[in-house]
A and B are shown apart, each in its own frame.
Chain A
Amino acid sequence: GNSVTQMEGPVTLSEEAFLTINCTYTATGYPSLFWYVQYPGEGLQLLLKATKADDKGSNKGFEATYRKETTSFHLEKGSVQVSDSAVYFCALRGGGSNYKLTFGKGTLLTVNP
């Protein structure tokens, strides 16, 4: 079956530091890959996505590249802000009729001023 493994954290950084949150996946076929962000007490927001190999998703300074050869979709940001503090979830959606999202366990990011 499909699975997503992401670094567990928590991750604590100072403002303007570089961020990487690793995510690898196992899936059959050609999945779509997503990063979601959850701020305290809120639901999940779609941060970025990639639907095929070598696609790069980007949004709000965050980027992730769909690497089929390494089955990875690592999230990066060059300079984090305090407002980026949240839980980040990597997820995949299987191809075809396999419509369910499979989530990683989430990584808590705390950015200190």
Chain B
Amino acid sequence: GAVVSQHPSRVICKSGTSVKIECRSLDFQATTMFWYRQFPKKSLMLMATSNEGSKATYEQGVEKDKFLINHASLTLSTLTVTSAHPEDSSFYICSAETSAYEQYFGPGTRLTVT
């Protein structure tokens, strides 16, 4: 149990375009989901906390107008990278929190902006 999926697993886009990444909890409902960014050989950086039915809470230094988060249901959160630039290229990972406060992670999305 406690499976989280992400789609797409890999995406390549041109500079200036927008990209949407989906995060789904497949077998449980998640009031809270999290979005992380991971740089090569680095730990995870929390970008924002996504709460179903309310606005996301962004960490300091994360541009909320650039990284749009929508938590439309108890099983789906989306991250949209708007007007992507090469420096946005990274590995984006989501997690969903169970009622027991355990976070289960998606497999990640590799974004490459050319």
Contacts and interface: CB of A to CB of B under 8 A. Distances in A.
Interface stretch (B39-47, B61-69, B72-80, B82-90): B39-47
Interface string A86-105: 00010001000001110111
Interface residues of B, number: 23
A44 B36 CA distance: 11
Contacts of A93: 101, 103
A44 B105 contact: yes
A100 B46 contact: yes
Interface residues of A, number: 19
Contacts, number: 47
B28 to A, nearest CB: 13
Contact of A49 (B41, B49, B102): B102
The residue among B4, B93, B102 with the most chain A CB atoms within 10 A of its own CB is B102
B108 A42 contact: yes
A18 B105 CA distance: 28
Nearest to A49: B102
Contacts of B32: 99
Given A89-B43, A99-B32, A46 B104 contact: yes
Interface of A: 32, 36, 41-46, 49, 89, 93, 99-101, 103-106, 108
